[in-house]
A and B are shown apart, each in its own frame.
Chain A
Amino acid sequence: MIEKLASLGHRGLLFFSLFGRSFILFLSTLFGFLYLFRRPNLLIKQLYAVGVLSFLIILVSGLFVGMVMGLQGYNTLVDFGAEESLGQVVALSLLRELGPVVGALLFAGRAGSALTAEIGLMKATEQLSGMEMMAINPVKQILAPRLLAGIISLPLLVAIFSMVGVLGGYFVGVDLLGVDAGAYWSQIQEKVDFQHDVMSGVIKSIVFGVVCTWIAIFEGYDCIPTSEGVSKATTNTVVFSALSVLGLDFLLTAVML
């Protein structure tokens, strides 16, 4: 019994120590943003690596998610003779929920895992130690541009995801299933509220961007510098990001409804 309690206490201490380390790293990385005014090229390079290279997966996934929404939405709505509301259903689902959540999950899988693996390998090959010995702070040089790039990129990628999704829904609903094009767009124009619907999606995507990139850089920076350690950290990034996104989505939805 005592042993079980001790083990529980030990796990609790480990968790709080992990959370404390990650929070301290997050704060020092935020301070590192100032350094990017002197070295904007570091940020631009990471915007390309984190954002532009995630563009294709976001584009294709957004299109298919929108098409599925169009198909499912039409089949449900047609039973009630309400297929004219398809545009509203597709747009609201994407803007409020699917865009930020699926976008963040894809981002964690594509960009987050790549960030963790890159930083972890830099640690394993002593590149981070090498920088420290050259009196160059790796938190400013390596982590800060990656965190900021993630925070900037994800909301933009989510916006693209939702936009392409609406077009995918239009293609299936209007072009293939015969919903009226005017009704599709006018329902979106009438029912989608900028502040309530669009902004809630934007806020979610910013929060998810911070959390997913924070997890990714911390896992890489804190990993055990071996091939097994880097592999475990990369897996952790995807798992923790996915769980955090889904949990936070519920919290944010509850707050913003």
Chain B
Amino acid sequence: MIFSGVDMDIPRGKITAIMGPSGTGKTTLLKLIGGQLKPEKGSIEVDGENIPKLSNKQLYNIRKQMGMLFQSGALLTDMNVFDNVAFPLREHTNLPESMIRDLVLVKLHTVGLRGARTLKPSQLSGGMARRVALARAMALDPSLIMYDEPFTGQDPISMGVLVKLIKRVNQLLGITSIIVSHDIHETLDIADKIYLISKGKIVGQGNSEELENSSSPWVKQFIHGYDDGPVPFHFSTDSLIDDLLEKQR
């Protein structure tokens, strides 16, 4: 079991962060919200629709209102930057090509990559690929964007650019944003609400100030990066002495 008794409320138009140690199922949670995975029990409601109960057609319809930024960018490698951003527009709208061009250029301008429109994904840096993916996620003007580890592996400049972009997109377009991350400082800077999860349960929640002042040992260890605590340094095993004696025998 990955989650048990998790009850989350994602406020509309705000940035909500889901944080926790690696391997706690943060990405799984996004996949559950997007309907890519189905829970055995419980409900996940987006805009009043219970995602696990939707038919395939209804699910695909509601996904048009969602954007997702994958950790790898997930750009289609056989298309250039322009075509990647134009892809959802061409698939889901009957707009003329001239209008698609204008929309794509505006989205690319928002992420600062209008000049990179002819490049292939293989020619982009990791940070640029994520910005293009953000432009693509915004292409259909969704009401919800989910960010899966947007800051992982980024240099300070790219990270700063992404932090500002996520904040700007949320403020200008009023898009509800869910960020899954374990980059504490960047996420605390922009998130309105933070859920801290560990071992399938919510171990802390609140805004950045509340979490920083929390007395919970889980929250303290995570926020301050202590090497030992409720999340132990050693992987669960026998005592060292037992292990060494076993070898001698």
Contacts and interface: CB of A to CB of B under 8 A. Distances in A.
Contacts of A127: 74-77
B77 A125 contact: yes
Interface in A126-184: 126-127, 129-137
A130 B68 contact: yes
Given A133-B34, A133-B36, A135-B92, A126 B72 contact: yes
A133 B76 contact: no
Contacts of A137: 60
B71 interface: yes
B153 to A, nearest CB: 15
Contacts of A133: 34, 36, 63, 66-68
A135 B63 contact: yes
Contact of B61 (A122, A132, A135): A135
Contacts of B88: 134-136
Nearest to A128: B74
Name, among A126, A135, A136, the residue most crowded by chain B CB atoms within 10 Å (CB to CB): A135
Interface string B22-37: 0000000001001010
A52 to B, nearest CB: 16
Contacts of B70: 126, 129-130
A127 B75 CA distance: 6
Interface string B139-158: 01000000000000000000
B87 interface: yes
Given A127-B76, A127-B77, A130-B74, A135 B68 contact: no
B102 interface: no
Tier of interface size on chain B: 20 to 34
Nearest to A126: B74
B64 interface: yes
Contacts of A130: 68, 70, 74-76, 133
Tier of interface size on chain A: 10 to 19
A55 B65 CA distance: 44
Nearest to A130: B74
Contacts of A131: 76
Contacts of B238: none
A127 B127 CA distance: 17
Contacts of A126: 70-72, 74
A132 B74 contact: no
B46 to A, nearest CB: 13
A132 B63 contact: yes
A133 B75 CA distance: 12
Contacts of B31: 129
Nearest to B148: A126
B87 A134 contact: yes
B91 interface: yes
Nearest to B70: A126
Name, among A134, A136, A137, the residue most crowded by chain B CB atoms within 10 Å (CB to CB): A134
A46 B161 CA distance: 38
A126 B66 CA distance: 17
Contacts of B36: 129, 132-133
Contacts of A136: 87-88, 91-92
Contacts of B140: 134
A125 B72 contact: yes
A187 to B, nearest CB: 48
A251 B114 CA distance: 58
23 contacts: A122-B77, A125-B77, A126-B70, A126-B74, A127-B75, A127-B76, A129-B31, A130-B70, A130-B74, A130-B75, A133-B36, A133-B66, A133-B67, A133-B68, A134-B63, A134-B87, A134-B136, A135-B60, A135-B61, A135-B91, A135-B92, A136-B87, A136-B92
Interface of B: 31, 34, 36, 60-61, 63-64, 66-68, 70-72, 74-77, 87-88, 91-92, 133, 136, 140
Given A126-B74, A129-B70, A135-B61, 13 more contacts: A125-B77, A127-B77, A130-B68, A130-B76, A130-B133, A133-B36, A133-B66, A134-B63, A134-B91, A134-B140, A135-B60, A135-B88, A136-B92
